[in-house]
Structure 1
Amino acid sequence: MKSGERLIFIGDSITDCGRNTDSEKIGDGYVRIIRDHLRLRQPEGIPDIINKGISGNRITDLADRWEKDVLALNPDYVSISIGINDVWRQLDNPNMNQVYPGEFEKIYQKLLSLVKVKTNAQIIIMEPTIIEENIESEGNRKLQPYIDIVRRLAVTFNGVLVPEHQCFIAVLKKHPEYNLTTDGVHMNSTGNLLMARTWLRANGLE
């Protein structure tokens, strides 16, 4: 990744992280940590980093804005973090129309196919993180099929898989007393650092 290239991060509130109230429009979460790390690692220049996270998004919302927020920008890299709200809405708003694993996979596959056909971008697929620090929570159990889908799609589309869920669970197994989120979903500073470090490692940029 170098100066002159374009790196898009797209996802939900975990990616958004207050970008619209940030003068640099990248928010104060894992995207900022990645940007800052790259600045120090590559003083000769880094990619143009664009944060396209929107709070509350599910895979269906990404589909609605994929052309405008990804394809039209002709990125060199597209990093995608989605799936938490597809599961969380099943828990906190069960009466709304839900996105179950079959639909999730079908839509995600279509979006990745469009990236391959219309751009030369490297695809970076982030596993959904966690829903509660309790490893055996209902949210984490329901999340597993979505994680399996993400892993399969990374192989199918020759993408970089960022094993966020795997790394979060490993930390929590070793330190169940740690809090990585503020509310079971949204990252605290430790969670954002873990996300960023996992992303950088997966992309060979530590």
Structure 2
Amino acid sequence: MKLKGTLLFIGDSITESGRWEDAEGIGNGYVRVIHDYLAHRDPEIFLNILNKGVGGDRITDLAARWEKDVLQYNPTVVSISIGINDVWRQLDSPEKKAVLPDEFIHLYADLLKQLKDKTGASIILMEPTILQEDLYSEGNRKLKPYVEGVKMLAEKFDAVLVPTHEAFCNYLQYENRKIMTTDGVHMNSIGNMLMAKTWLKAVLTE
């Protein structure tokens, strides 16, 4: 995929990752790693990178701010990472109305249709990462239909699929692996590097 114009990242706290405190608004997470790699790789290409991650967001929250934080910018490329909180809230806040897989996929599809119809942007869909660094955790079991939904939507909307969940699951199988998160969800520098590496490989080979 050719990256030029405005590349907009949107998602939850994993995407936000310090953007409010950063003078550039990029943050210190995987978006920063991608930003810096692309700036070094293609310094002659104008690429305006925007980070619109907001901590705690579920797909319902993305829907509420889609016009303000995505469509109004008329981006060239949009990269979306969402789904972790849709599952996590089922575990840590069971009193909240759950966003189950069918609703998640339905709302996600509507946002992608709006994006295609109103901007014509190229789309990059990132699989939700992990919930705890344990392949068999309850969170990771519940996450599977959301990951499958993202794969289906990537095919339906001709989007680039970034297999971040697969990459994390593969890494978890190494006996000498390093810790990738600070709390089972939010990335440390190793987790951010894995996300960025997986994104770059998927996007730059398209």
Q: TM-score, normalised by structure 2?
A: 0.96
The offset of 1:176, in angstroms, is 6.3
Aligned equivalents of 2:107, 2:177: Cα separation in 1: 37
The offset of 1:26, in angstroms, is 0.7
Aligned equivalents of 1:176, 1:79: Cα separation in 2: 31
Q: Is the 8 A contact 2:171 2:177 kept in 1?
A: no
The offset of 1:120, in angstroms, is 1.6
Aligned equivalents of 1:176, 1:80: Cα separation in 2: 31
Instruction: Please name the residue that 2:169 is paired with.
Output: 169
Q: Is the 8 A contact 1:39 1:46 kept in 2?
A: no
Instruction: Please name the residue that 2:13 is paired with.
Output: 13
Instruction: Please name the residue that 2:77 is paired with.
Output: 77
C-alpha change, 1:140 and 1:92, in structure 2 (3 Å) is same
- Once the two structures are superposed, residues 84-107 of structure 1 have per-residue CA deviations (whole angstroms, 9 ceiling, x without a partner) of 000000001101111000110110
The offset of 1:132, in angstroms, is 0.6
The offset of 1:2, in angstroms, is 4.7
Mean CA deviation greater in 139-148 or 171-180: 171-180
Instruction: Please name the residue that 2:57 is paired with.
Output: 57
Instruction: Please name the residue that 1:149 is paired with.
Output: 149
Note the 1:173-188 alignment, pairs <5 A: 173-175=173-175, 177-188=177-188
CA RMSD, 1 decimal:
1.3
Aligned equivalents of 2:147, 2:61: Cα separation in 1: 18
C-alpha change, 1:35 and 1:48, in structure 2 (3 Å) is same
Instruction: Please name the residue that 1:99 is paired with.
Output: 99
Q: Is the 8 A contact 2:3 2:77 kept in 1?
A: no
Q: Is the 8 A contact 1:131 1:140 kept in 2?
A: yes
Q: Is the 8 A contact 1:66 1:111 kept in 2?
A: yes
Q: TM-score, normalised by structure 1?
A: 0.96
Q: Is the 8 A contact 1:38 1:46 kept in 2?
A: no
Query: Percent identity over the alignment?
Result: 57
Q: Is the 8 A contact 1:124 1:161 kept in 2?
A: yes
Aligned equivalents of 1:177, 1:167: Cα separation in 2: 13
Instruction: Please name the residue that 1:29 is paired with.
Output: 29
Paired residue type of 1:145: P
Secondary structure, in 3 states, of the residue corresponding to 2:204?
A: coil
Gaps of 5+ in 1: none
Q: Is the 8 A contact 2:7 2:50 kept in 1?
A: yes
The offset of 1:46, in angstroms, is 4.0
Gaps of 5+ in 2: none
Paired residue type of 2:191: G
Instruction: Please name the residue that 1:139 is paired with.
Output: 139
**Equivalent residue pairs, number:** 205
- Once the two structures are superposed, residues 185-205 of structure 1 have per-residue CA deviations (whole angstroms, 9 ceiling, x without a partner) of 000000000000000000116
The offset of 1:148, in angstroms, is 0.3
